[in-house]
Structure 1
């Protein structure tokens, strides 16, 4: 694994925006530096084929361990450790898991620390609403084809997404699949990611309809969810976290009308409810408990840092997103101030924390990459790299860099 530099293409912004990456320039004020390039092709990462093959094995093994962890939580009813106190939510998760063979489940992204010299270490698993998909699936592939046509890339995302929809199409109830995102997305990332996934479904021969989460209505007579044309929403892919969904105004109706397979008249939600147990940082502590000493895991606990206080640790809100609310605590108890980046410092943390052993990102001449390794339909499918040089945490303003296999 090496970091290479090269001049960006003169028209790079027009090219990547034309390929769907309309947020190539990041405007988020939390970056503290004003607008900057989110897509960064002034550098790229180069891997050998054996490195990528080894990472593929790691990703698929980690995915298997995560599924084993879900089975354990459901069997032992350890929902409270995830901050899940509603009995009805727990019941929906459990039934969703028991009937998982009847429910479409599409994709997820592991965030890994790796520098080519040791085992990759798991930071977290984003399996409910993972983003940075468009740039990984499309623009970085077209970048490679244009500039390095003789090279290769760990990237079968598009083909695997279409194949996953095609394989799971028989699980869908009659009628179109609605694809929903929130209008609260100011950068356009959630909207474009949803549109892209809608396109992959259409390429698999599935009828689709786009909708905003805020436009989903409830029919007063039938108690069923409807769209703006008053059509029943029989199935919906939502780029909206489950933990937010169950707290919405219509949360009770949602929990009482979830179709857990078969299309019997309620709404089938994609991703399924059991994925709430994979995108919660409590998973990290459970994985360590069930697989102590595993070379790709970091020690992690829920009650306190325990022995990690002597070596340093990251305190992660169980439901945190994009690095918000994460604190890096050194062995002397000092808190890294740059690491306290948060779009809304009070939004996350009340639900509890996971304390994970401090494992600094690899340093490539002051640049710190994290690998986003994708899983589609249970199989390793591709790689996207986010990079920061102003923080130990990969935050919302971290840049996306392409990669090659040589």
Structure 2
């Protein structure tokens, strides 16, 4: 694994805009662009094959955690309200279909990859991973390869659902355009799978009180829905109970059982069920225990918000509004240092299969929504 300096393509801004990535540059003229192709990482084929094996194994372990939590009724440790326990268990027993997720790793090409967290319900940076960096590779390194079968696997996964019509929704309150872009890309892959698609915002979804079913902004019934909207937000909304009640007949993607994987209590359960696993970090729900260096992560936090890093050298705290739901305490594992930059590897899983890689870089200790996305190659 190496970090390689390069040269951005002339007019790269217009190129990535034509491919859908409009938020490629921060409005501040001095800020590093979000999409940064002046640098890239290279991996050997052996390193990528090792990462694929790790993703496949961790995904299977996560499925074991879901089964364990449901069989032993451990929902309270996830802070999940009582009224959702049976619906989540029923969703799992039905094996309501899921599509994708993203594991975030600390990895330097030498030590074992360490799982930092699993984004299992509403992972983003999908377009950058699946499409933008692929086009960059074909333009600049046409003889190279990339760990990237995300697009093809998504099309195949949608085809397996057997759907003929799919609604796709994102929240209109997200103003950067990232959620809309990711949702539009999902619609494209579903269309390629032969499914008719209709995009709308969550705020445009209605509920027909006569037929007791959800309808779109044209009053058409919603029989299948992809939502880039976290379940913990959905169940807390006014329509939350009706959404949960609708799942047996029209399960949404991602399914209700994914609430157990998008919650960082998962990290503590993984460590409990698989103690000492080479790809896991010690993690606990009742406090840091004897760890001298640890990260306190809100169970439902996003984009690095509200994270606190405690080490003998001091404490670093990221502002945010999360944490009332509780925390998990995970051993602090410093990100690797490549010329003062610290990458986090986002490894995608589609269905039950490893699918590709996206990399975010930061100069600090915490990867957040200001961290740049950089492409990669297999050499």
TM-score by length of 2: 0.98
Instruction: Give yes or no for contact 1:323–1:393 (8 Å, CA) kept in 2.
Output: yes
Question: In structure 1, what is the Cα distance between the partners aligned to 2:376 and 2:198?
Answer: 34
Q: Which residue of 1 aligns with 2:211?
A: 222
Aligned residues: 379
Deviation per residue, 1:267-321 (Å, 9 max, x gap): 321110000111100000000000000000000000000011x2x0000000000
Instruction: Give yes or no for contact 1:41–1:401 (8 Å, CA) kept in 2.
Output: yes
Of 290, 293, 297 in structure 1, the residue corresponding to residue 273 of structure 2 is 290
How far apart are 1:36 and its partner, in Å? 4.3
How far apart are 1:35 and its partner, in Å? 5.5
Question: In structure 1, what is the Cα distance between the partners aligned to 2:99 and 2:30?
Answer: 35
Q: Which residue of 2 aligns with 1:192?
A: 181
Question: In structure 2, what is the Cα distance between the partners aligned to 1:360 and 1:17?
Answer: 34
Q: Secondary structure at the match of 1:111?
A: strand
Question: In structure 2, what is the Cα distance between the partners aligned to 1:70 and 1:331?
Answer: 35
How far apart are 1:341 and its partner, in Å? 3.0
Q: Secondary structure at the match of 2:236?
A: coil
Gapped regions of structure 2 (runs ≥ 5): none
How far apart are 1:89 and its partner, in Å? 1.0
Question: In structure 1, what is the Cα distance between the partners aligned to 2:374 and 2:176?
Answer: 19
Asked whether 1:403 is paired with 2:342, we answer: no
Stretch moving more, 129-138 or 18-27: 18-27
Q: Which residue of 2 aligns with 1:331?
A: 312
Of 224, 233, 236 in structure 1, the residue corresponding to residue 225 of structure 2 is 236
Deviation per residue, 1:92-131 (Å, 9 max, x gap): 110000011xx32100000000001110000000010000
Asked whether 1:94 is paired with 2:77, we answer: no
How far apart are 1:213 and its partner, in Å? 0.1
Q: Which residue of 1 aligns with 2:43?
A: 47
Question: In structure 2, what is the Cα distance between the partners aligned to 1:58 and 1:65?
Answer: 10
Question: In structure 1, what is the Cα distance between the partners aligned to 2:142 and 2:30?
Answer: 35
Gapped regions of structure 1 (runs ≥ 5): none
Within a 5 Å distance, the mapping from 1:250-289 to structure 2 comes to 250-258=239-247, 260=248, 264=249, 267-289=250-272
Q: Which residue of 1 aligns with 2:338?
A: 364
Question: In structure 2, what is the Cα distance between the partners aligned to 1:348 and 1:34?
Answer: 29
Of 87, 108, 111 in structure 2, the residue corresponding to residue 118 of structure 1 is 111
Instruction: Give yes or no for contact 1:4–1:43 (8 Å, CA) kept in 2.
Output: yes
Instruction: Give yes or no for contact 1:369–1:387 (8 Å, CA) kept in 2.
Output: yes
How far apart are 1:204 and its partner, in Å? 0.3
Q: Which residue of 2 aligns with 1:207?
A: 196
Q: Which residue of 1 aligns with 2:53?
A: 57
Distance 1:227 1:35, change over 3 A: farther
Question: In structure 2, what is the Cα distance between the partners aligned to 1:286 and 1:138?
Answer: 34
Instruction: Give yes or no for contact 1:88–1:255 (8 Å, CA) kept in 2.
Output: no
Q: Secondary structure at the match of 1:88?
A: helix
Question: In structure 1, what is the Cα distance between the partners aligned to 2:251 and 2:70?
Answer: 20
Instruction: Give yes or no for contact 1:341–1:395 (8 Å, CA) kept in 2.
Output: no
Question: In structure 2, what is the Cα distance between the partners aligned to 1:218 and 1:35?
Answer: 44
Runs of 4+, deviation exceeding 3 Å: 33-36
Question: In structure 2, what is the Cα distance between the partners aligned to 1:393 and 1:4?
Answer: 22
Q: Secondary structure at the match of 2:367?
A: coil
Question: In structure 1, what is the Cα distance between the partners aligned to 2:26 and 2:174?
Answer: 13
Question: In structure 2, what is the Cα distance between the partners aligned to 1:14 and 1:92?
Answer: 47
Question: In structure 1, what is the Cα distance between the partners aligned to 2:30 and 2:332?
Answer: 29
- RMSD of aligned residue pairs (Cα, Å): 1.3
Distance 1:228 1:34, change over 3 A: farther
How far apart are 1:331 and its partner, in Å? 2.8
